[in-house]
């Protein structure tokens, strides 16, 4: 129903007149807060429940995993998309963050983002999962909410926003490292051994190759799902940085593309330090904030 929709710009403007106890719950946020592994409200609950100082300190330290990679994380604005979906109250899952381009022109993007403070193995599991904790479920629910339940303002209707939106993930691992241990269902190859009882070199190499193929197949299957959501692929030129999966020729031509992008935290920190996200076209989402600051 129309009355259940969130008018996002109005919600952002309204919250600027309110003091939030928890800055990670503010809708017009920044990369630092949306990347948190532990909500500030939850950490306060741990303290009230008498959890150990070490446990609380570990939670706070875990929240710094992106900030450790770039000093600019607090300077890059983003929509706290979890907060937007919380306003809907419809029980859907959601991605963490949204870069909304208010005056999008040809060749530009909106980005929707998921942060995972986890290693490669757990990331692959989440890419494969069709359950509520799976990454695809979060993207699918987010797209459905963008299409049906959120009014953004700007020069695009919902379907236009979606077909110009690219999905990327940031995780706490290394894109250059092979995944040496895969889920059991993916790693049942026979291992031949030498006289010393160790796997011979050919077997170790074969298992690494097999694991890389399994990993690439997970990326391929996930990419096909994203493609069916009618989201926008990118090229290495339109979305730069050291990322996976590797770009491949599209079905419709010779252009090399990827349907979604994965950055390690380190590589994403380097992208933040570049000028890619600087001067993002937030329109009145940001201008209203500037006007408020000028009058205080």
Q: Which residue ranges make up each domain of the chain? A: 2-178+267-294
- The answer to whether the peptide bond before residue 238 is cis (omega within 30 degrees of 0) is no
Quote the CA–CA distance of 38 and 228 in Å, as a whole number.
32
Q: Report strand pairing: 6-7 vs 150-151.
A: parallel
In which band, very low, low, confident or very high, does the pLDDT at 296 lie, cut at 50, 70 and 90? very low
Q: pLDDT at residue 218 above 90?
A: yes
| 121: Cα within 13 Å, side-chain hemisphere | 8
Q: pLDDT at residue 31 above 80?
A: yes
Q: Is the model more confident about 249 or about 238?
A: 238
Quote the CA–CA distance of 120 and 14 in Å, as a whole number.
40
Q: What per-residue confidence (pLDDT) applies to 287?
A: 61
For the segment 58-65, the average pLDDT, to the nearest whole number, is 98
Quote the CA–CA distance of 81 and 234 in Å, as a whole number.
22
Which percentage of the chain shows pLDDT scores above 70? 83
- Positive/negative CA dihedral, 21, 25, 31, 34: positive
Q: Are residues 88 and 70 in contact, defined by beta-carbon separation less than 8 angstroms? A: no
In which band, very low, low, confident or very high, does the pLDDT at 2 lie, cut at 50, 70 and 90? very low
Kindly report the pTM of this predicted structure: 0.85
Alpha helices, H only, 53-130: 53-62, 81-88, 120-128
Quote the CA–CA distance of 178 and 215 in Å, as a whole number.
9
Q: What is the pLDDT of residues 162-206, one digit of tens each?
A: 999 999 999 999 886 544 444 444 333 344 445 544 445 444 444
């Amino acid at each position: 129903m129309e009355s259940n929709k969130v008018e996002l710009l109005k919600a952002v403007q309204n919250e600027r007149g309110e003091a939030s106890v928890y800055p990670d719950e503010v809708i017009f946020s920044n990369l630092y807060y949306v990347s948190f592994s532990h909500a500030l409200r939850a950490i306060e609950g741990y303290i009230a429940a008498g959890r150990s100082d070490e446990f609380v300190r570990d939670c706070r330290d875990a929240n710094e995993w992106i900030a450790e990679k770039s000093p600019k994380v607090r300077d890059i604005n983003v929509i706290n998309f979890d907060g937007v979906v919380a306003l809907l109250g419809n029980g859907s899952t959601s991605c963490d963050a949204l870069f909304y381009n208010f005056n999008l022109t040809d060749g530009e993007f909106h980005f929707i983002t998921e942060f995972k403070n986890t290693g490669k193995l757990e990331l692959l599991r989440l890419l494969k999962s069709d359950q509520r904790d799976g990454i695809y479920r979060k993207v699918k629910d987010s797209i459905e909410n963008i299409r049906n339940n959120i009014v953004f303002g700007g020069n695009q209707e919902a379907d236009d926003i979606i077909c110009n939106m690219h999905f990327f993930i940031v995780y706490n691992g290394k894109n250059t490292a092979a995944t040496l241990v895969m889920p059991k269902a993916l790693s049942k190859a026979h291992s031949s051994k030498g006289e010393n009882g160790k796997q011979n070199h050919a077997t170790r190499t074969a298992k690494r190759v097999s694991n890389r193929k399994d990993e690439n197949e997970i990326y391929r299957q996930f990419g096909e799902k994203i493609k069916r959501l009618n989201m926008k692929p990118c090229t290495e030129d339109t979305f730069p940085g050291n990322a996976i999966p590797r770009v491949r020729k599209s079905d419709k031509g010779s252009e090399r593309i990827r349907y979604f992008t994965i950055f390690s935290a380190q590589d994403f920190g380097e992208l933040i330090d570049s000028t890619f996200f600087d001067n993002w076209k937030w329109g009145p989402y940001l201008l209203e904030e500037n006007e408020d600051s000028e009058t205080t």
